[in-house]
Amino acid sequence: MKKFLFAFTLILIFFQATRASAQQKKATKVDVDLTKVSNTFIYSQIFNMMSEPERYVGKTIKIKGKFMSYDLPPEFGRKKSFAVIIYDATACCQQGIEFIWEGNHQYPKDYPAEGSTITVTGVFQSYKVQNFDCFCLKTNDVSF
């Protein structure tokens, strides 16, 4: 009887964990998925996002590209900026979007190598720095 109860308990735990995992995946509804289109389309879409940000603020965006980090001036209140960079079809021009990875992540320990491929899913948001509008993806989903 004890073996049966133990096995039954393990099965319940397994099903509960599986159901919770499935619910989390459903909860992350992606409004704009840029991982399945060409770089030229992504390049154009990011241009549109920066030109008409009000159409995208609050939407969940998924993007794949090259990881880059940049030093920031003191006005930003943080030392580094991180971005997903996309090159156009001829690789002469680039377009990127900053992402802010929520949680306790330390650079460079927890981040990918510069130039490596990453996928970021996050909510498009705006913030101000000295009366200038800046845009980023707030995320807790970075894979590399």
Helical residues (DSSP H) of 28-71, grouped into ranges: 39-51
Distance CA(83)–CA(118), nearest Å, equals 10
User: What secondary structure letter does DSSP report for 101?
Assistant: E
Confidence at residue 24, expressed as pLDDT on a 0 to 100 scale: 45
Confidence at residue 88, expressed as pLDDT on a 0 to 100 scale: 80
Q: Which two tokens stand for residue 31?
A: 């409004």
Confidence at residue 120, expressed as pLDDT on a 0 to 100 scale: 98
Residue with tokens 């099903």, as numbered in its chain: 15
User: What secondary structure letter does DSSP report for 121?
Assistant: E
Question: Please, which residues have CB within 8 angstroms of residue 35's CB and are 6 or more apart in sequence?
Answer: 62, 63, 64, 119
Confidence at residue 137, expressed as pLDDT on a 0 to 100 scale: 98
Residue with tokens 């979007």, as numbered in its chain: 97
**Is there a contact between 68 and 97 (Cβ–Cβ < 8 Å)?**
no
Distance CA(121)–CA(60), nearest Å, equals 7
> What pLDDT tens digit does each residue of the chain (144 aa) get?
545 444 444 343 444 544 444 444 445 799 999 999 988 888 889 999 999 999 999 999 999 999 999 999 998 889 999 999 998 877 788 889 999 999 999 999 999 999 999 999 999 999 999 999 999 999 999 999
